[in-house]
């Protein structure tokens, strides 16, 4: 949870980060983790919430969209050079 966004976190990172170990993926844990993270962000008065992920990470894209994420844009990551997506959740 990041209560405030720096310019770097606005570009890549966002307010909420989550990860599910590979052996436990595709069981709904990512969706629930992000749901809990969003609830905490909203409780702290963070609205809207920015979430980013790599453009080729179909699992994270699905998790973010299931939690109400709306695609804002795509850009190249300044760190990795990979294409990433930025989503906002109201």
What pLDDT was estimated at residue 9? 94
Residues 10-41 pLDDT 10s: 989 999 999 999 999 999 999 999 999 999 99
What pLDDT was estimated at residue 79? 87
What pLDDT was estimated at residue 78? 87
Residues 50-81 pLDDT 10s: 999 999 999 999 999 999 999 999 999 988 99
Output the six-digit token pair for 40: 């905490």
- C-alpha span between 89 and 64 (Å, rounded): 9
Domains in the chain with CATH codes: 7-89 (3.40.630.30)
- State mean pLDDT over 38-53: 97
Output the six-digit token pair for 56: 């080729």
């Amino acid at each position: 949870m990041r209560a405030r966004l720096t310019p770097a976190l606005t570009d890549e990172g966002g307010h909420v980060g989550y990860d599910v170990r590979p052996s436990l993926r595709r069981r709904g844990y990512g969706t629930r983790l992000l749901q809990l993270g969003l609830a905490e962000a909203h409780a702290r008065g963070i609205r809207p919430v920015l979430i980013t992920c790599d453009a080729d990470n179909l699992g994270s894209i699905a998790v973010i969209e299931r939690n109400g994420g709306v695609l804002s844009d795509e850009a190249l990551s300044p760190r990795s050079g990979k294409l990433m997506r930025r989503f906002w959740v109201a």
